[in-house]
């Protein structure tokens, strides 16, 4: 049994952070909230997502024991397969009201209600969805925290110029650099212009397609944390739902031309 109420704008922001990487996926519902981990079809980008139960105005969850004999005690968790793109569309129609959610496990439907609008969503069969990926073990030598808006603005400009972007730290300076056939763009921020910076010398090249998508998934976020290495994946973390939710993106780098 799962029943909940949540601010629909807040939920929309959460779902937007997922559609940056995947179109569909499965939530794991537990006593403590909602979780998801999913990787894009090309195995290049991953999203890990967590929403605590206190982000909800109402959160009722009970693993059903009577439903079947065999799996009765392993059911402290429910899986909910959802087409996120479709779900975003529904949240778009519903406006800014609070949204009520109720799961019917037996028929695999999610009932939603926003004000006077009721919408029944057919869930995706969790077994038809990709398996939850393993998170690679990574150690990041450098961390940078900056205002999301600065990052997003730079990405918007970079997108017009080239296909990839370098993220790096040189001493006490964080930089983003992109080079196209014609133009070149570089953003350099000193330590005092950032919220936090671990000094070091690292840089990696990433596909802008993925970074652009990610930057769309964090439009309402104030700060983001970048974890970087040398020719290494990027981990980009931020909070959603007024600090009651966490999103973490992982992105594999591109091999640079010598």
Tell me the window of 28-36, 52-60, 134-142, 187-195 that interacts with other proteins (CB under 8 A). 134-142
Q: Binding residue for other proteins (CB under 8 A) from 4, 45, 144, 176?
A: 45
Site for other proteins in 186-205 (CB under 8 A): none
Run of H or E including 122: strand 117-122
C-alpha 94/C-alpha 67 separation (Å) is 33
Taking the least distance from each CB to other proteins, the nearer of 89 and 188 is 89
- Phi/psi for 208 (5° steps) reads -65, -30
Sign of the torsion formed by the C-alpha atoms of 160, 162, 168 and 173: negative
Residue 252 interacts with other proteins (CB under 8 A)? yes
Q: Give the count of residues interacting with other proteins (CB under 8 A).
A: 22
Residue 43 interacts with other proteins (CB under 8 A)? yes
Token pair recorded at residue 198: 């671990």
Taking the least distance from each CB to other proteins, the nearer of 58 and 135 is 135
According to the 3-state scheme, what is the secondary structure of 160-211? CCCCEEEEEEEECEEEEEEECCCCEEEEEEEHHHCCEECCEEEEEEEEHHHH
Tell me the window of 63-71, 113-121, 182-190, 248-256 that interacts with other proteins (CB under 8 A). 248-256
Taking the least distance from each CB to other proteins, the nearer of 75 and 216 is 216
- Phi/psi for 39 (5° steps) reads -120, 150
Contact residues toward other proteins (CB under 8 A) are 39-46, 133, 136-138, 163, 207, 209, 233, 250, 252-255, 257
């Amino acid at each position: 049994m799962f029943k909940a109420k949540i601010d629909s704008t807040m939920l929309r922001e959460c779902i937007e952070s997922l559609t940056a990487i995947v179109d569909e996926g499965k939530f794991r519902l537990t006593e403590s909230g909602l979780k998801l981990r999913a990787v894009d079809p090309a195995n290049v980008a991953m999203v890990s997502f967590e929403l605590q139960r206190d982000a909800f105005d109402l959160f009722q969850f009970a693993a059903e024991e009577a439903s079947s004999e065999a799996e009765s005690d392993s059911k402290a968790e429910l899986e909910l397969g959802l087409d996120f793109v479709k779900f975003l569309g529904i949240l778009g129609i519903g406006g800014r009201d609070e949204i009520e959610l109720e799961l019917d496990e037996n028929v695999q439907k999610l009932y939603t209600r926003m004000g006077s609008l009721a919408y029944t969503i057919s869930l995706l069969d969790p077994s038809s969805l990709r398996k939850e990926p393993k998170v690679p073990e990574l150690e990041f030598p450098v961390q940078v925290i900056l205002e999301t808006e600065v990052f997003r603005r730079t990405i918007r400009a970079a997108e017009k110029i080239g296909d990839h972007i370098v993220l790096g730290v040189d001493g006490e300076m964080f930089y983003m650099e992109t080079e196209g056939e014609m133009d070149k763009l570089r953003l350099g921020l000193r330590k005092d212009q950032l919220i936090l910076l671990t000094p070091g010398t690292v840089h990696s090249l990433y596909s802008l397609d993925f970074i652009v998508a990610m930057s769309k998934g964090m439009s309402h976020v104030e700060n983001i944390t970048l974890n970087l290495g040398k020719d290494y994946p990027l981990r980009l973390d931020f909070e959603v739902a007024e600090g009651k939710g966490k999103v973490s993106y992982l992105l594999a780098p591109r091999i640079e031309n010598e």
